[in-house]
Amino acid sequence: MLRPNDIVAVALSGGKDSVTLLRILWKLERRFPLARLIALTVDEGISGYRSEAISMSKEVCDQLRIEHVVVSFDQLFGITMDDVAGRQNELQPCSYCGVLRRKALNEGARRVGATKLATAHNLDDEAQTALLNVMHGDVERILQDSQTNTKAPASFIPRIKPLAEVPERETALYAYASAAPFQTIPCPHGHNALRGDIRVMLNRLELKHRGIKHTISRSIERLSETAEGTTRRRAFQACKLCSDPTPNDICEACLMLRTFKAEAGAMYRPVL
Ligand code: SF4
Ligand code: ZN
C-alpha cells in the first residue's frame, strides 16, 4: 500500500478507528525517514458534534507532533451538514455527507501534496458498505468501492484502507489500550441511516456465524475480480463542472450541490 517516500494524508475524524490508524502509521513512519504523515480532518458543519472531534484530533496530533489540516464543507462548498439536515431532502443526510466528504478529502489531500490518502475503514465498515450497495442495487458502486479496483483515475489521490480486514472490536480495543483521546458521542444526523440497521444485523449474525463479515467483504472482492474480465467498466472523464474524474458528465457531488443550491435559490460555484 505504501512506498518509503510517500506523503500520506490520514483522514482523521477523531473517532476510535481514525485515531488508531494514525497511531499505527505514526509508529511505522518513524522507520521511514523520507515518508511524511499529515492528518486531515473534514469539518462537515455539525453543531455539538464536530467541534469536539476537531479538538480531540488536534490533541492527538499535538501529542504525536503530526501536522493537522482541517477542511470544511462550508469553506469548500458553501453549505454545512446542519443546512442539509434542516431541509426536506429526497436522500438521508448521510448520503450527502458521504459523497461530499469523499470530495473534501480528495481536495484536502491534493492541497497538502499527498501521494496517498489513508482512511480508517475497518472490516465492519467494508461489510456494511457491501450490503448497502447490494440493497441499493448499486452495481457500479460495488465494483468501484472494491479494494481490488485498480481503475481509479490518476487525478484521484490513491486511497488505501489499511484496517479493511480488522474488525471494529479490535480497532476499539487498540484505541482504549493506547489511552488516546477519541470521540464517543454519535452524530445527531445519523440516527435514520440504513447503515445503522445493517450494523446491528451483521453484529447479530457474526455472533452466530463467526467470520461472516470477512466472508461478505471477500465476496465483494471476488465479485469485482470476476467482473473485471466480463464487464466493461465505464471510463472516467473530467466532470463538466469541477473537473474531478467521474464516469458521468457531472460528478455526484456537483449534482447534489447544484440541486441543493438551486432549491435554496442560489448559484452553485464548484471548487476548481
Ligand atoms: Fe455524516 Fe451521517 Fe456520519 Fe453524521 S452519521 S458524520 S451525517 S455520514
Ligand atoms: Zn464535479
Q: What percent of the chain stands above pLDDT 90? A: 65
Alpha-carbon distance 44 to 16, whole Å?
Answer: 18
Answer yes or no: is the C-beta of 14 below 6 A from any ligand 1 atom: no
pLDDT of 175 higher than 60: yes
Residue 97 CA, ligand 1 centroid: distance in Å: 6
Report the residue among 47, 97, 199 best suited for mutation to probe ligand 1: largest number of ligand atoms under 8 A from its CB. 97
The residue whose C-alpha atom lies closest to atom 6 belonging to ligand 1 is 187
Return the pLDDT at 233: 61
The residue whose C-alpha atom lies closest to atom 5 belonging to ligand 1 is 190
Return the pLDDT at 150: 47
Answer yes or no: is the C-beta of 97 below 6 A from any ligand 1 atom: yes
Answer yes or no: is the C-beta of 84 below 6 A from any ligand 1 atom: no
* Alpha helices in the chain, H assignment, sequence order: 16-29, 50-64, 73-77, 81-85, 93-111, 123-135, 139-145, 168-178, 194-208, 212-230, 252-263
Confidence of residue 66 (pLDDT cuts 50, 70, 90): very high
Confidence of residue 234 (pLDDT cuts 50, 70, 90): low
Q: Which ligand lies nearest to the CA atom of residue 99 in the structure?
A: 1
Residue 77 CA, ligand 2 centroid: distance in Å: 11
For ligand 2, a single-atom ion, the residues with CB < 5 A are 239, 241-242, 244, 251, 254
Return the pLDDT at 268: 85
Alpha-carbon distance 118 to 7, whole Å?
Answer: 10
pLDDT of 229 higher than 70: no
Answer yes or no: is the C-beta of 8 below 6 A from any ligand 1 atom: no
Return the pLDDT at 137: 83
